[in-house]
Amino acid sequence: MADRYSRQKLFKPIGVNGQEKIGEKHILILGCGALGTANAENLVRAGIGKLTIIDRDYVEFSNLHRQHLFTEQDAIDQVPKVIAAKSKLEEINSDARIEAHILDATAVSLRPHLKEVDLVIDATDNFDTRFMLNDLLQQLNIPWIYGSCVGSTGMSYTILPKQTPCLHCLLDAAPPNGATCDSVGIISPAVQMVVAHQTTEAMKLLIEDRDSLRATLVTFDLWKNHYQTVNVDKAKDSACPSCGMHATYPYLDYGATTKTEILCGRNTVQIRASREIHLAELANHLKKVGEVKGNGFLLSMDYQSYRVVFFQDGRTLIHGTDSIEKAKKIYYQLVG
């Protein structure tokens, strides 16, 4: 059989030695949507030795325009994303060892899967999970590559524990309610641009060429023809609770997590965030999705076949389901 990696080996920064290193490494991708599937395909084609993919969701038709590993039949059968992805990836490269886990990622559930992982790629869809991931990987000293996209915009940054600013340094606290794919949509090229940055940075880390890593935060808007790299070195905070001299890893604390419970007999799930909700900001954001009603104490709206009620103290009620997984999916679609 001809050498499938011959063209990659001809690229001098990788070469034969770099290719061998790629084949010895283990990457975990958290999230198996648009960013996750594209990064996974790139890495499997590049010859990654072992790939772990984690996601809690299943394939839907609305995924197909940007999540390249999935087919219409996957959506019809509501196949879990990691199962569908694993099947396609093994057809692409039978030599790659692929582990797939249908899992709601928490600090507790994720930790066992990080043993002997060389790198983590962020392909999540919410900042609750990202901040938890940031603290956990700082604690375990595992590098990771942040990425996000919505509309025609995106950004990416490579985080090296003890060296670069962490996500907490960059954002300081969980950001206000922002745009989501369900409120402003997304175009596939924005996904591919973020993935190009994430996969390239991953390959540099895999072959241990840290001198070539991009030290800046990259942001872009493809539709408006904007591309920017930002030097964030000064953002590193020695007092940061997630990566500073006396780190306490606050987002690993149970009190900082988003909690869910089924309300008995009401076909309703309650989600309690760790922070208060700014109702005016949220109302302005939700108007992009549908009609919003409020009274100064709460906001309510009909979304798909559900009624969603947001309280200022951080509670949200999802009426119309007793599935925690479904409720969390709706919550993150709306809140971001």
The per-residue pLDDT for range 195-223, each reduced to its tens digit, is 999 999 999 999 999 999 999 999 999 99
pTM of the model: 0.82
What pLDDT score was predicted for residue 173? 44
The per-residue pLDDT for range 37-80, each reduced to its tens digit, is 999 999 999 999 999 999 988 888 989 999 999 999 999 988 89
The per-residue pLDDT for range 90-106, each reduced to its tens digit, is 999 999 999 999 888 88
**What secondary structure letter does DSSP report for 266?**
T
CA distance 33 to 258: 21
CA distance 333 to 327: 10
CATH topology for 258-335?
A: TATA-Binding Protein (3.30.310)
Q: Which residues of the chain have pLDDT under 70?
A: 1-2, 173-179, 182, 254-255, 264-265
Structure tokens at 161: 């524990």
Give 3-state DSSP helix, strand, coil % of the chain, rounded to 5. Answer: 40, 25, 40
What pLDDT score was predicted for residue 272? 82
Domain 6-252 homologous superfamily, CATH: NAD(P)-binding Rossmann-like Domain (3.40.50.720)
CA distance 56 to 216: 31
Question: 22 with 49: CB under 8 angstroms?
Answer: yes
**Can you spell out the DSSP letters for 9-23?**
HHSTTTHHHHHHHHT
Question: 247 with 138: CB under 8 angstroms?
Answer: yes
* Burial (Cβ within 10 Å: 0-12, 13-18, ≥19) of residue 165: buried
What pLDDT score was predicted for residue 175? 53
CA distance 37 to 31: 8
- Polymer length of the chain: 336
Strand-pairing partners, residue 269, are: 262, 318
**What secondary structure letter does DSSP report for 2?**
-
The percent of residues in the chain predicted with pLDDT above 70, rounded, is 95
**Can you spell out the DSSP letters for 182-199?**
HHH-B-HHHHHHHHHHHH
What pLDDT score was predicted for residue 176? 46
What pLDDT score was predicted for residue 174? 45
What pLDDT score was predicted for residue 19? 97
State phi, psi for 198 to the nearest 5 degrees. Answer: -65, -50
Domain ranges of the chain: 6-252, 258-335
Structure tokens at 28: 């975990």
Handedness of CA 190, 155, 80, 98 (dihedral sign): positive
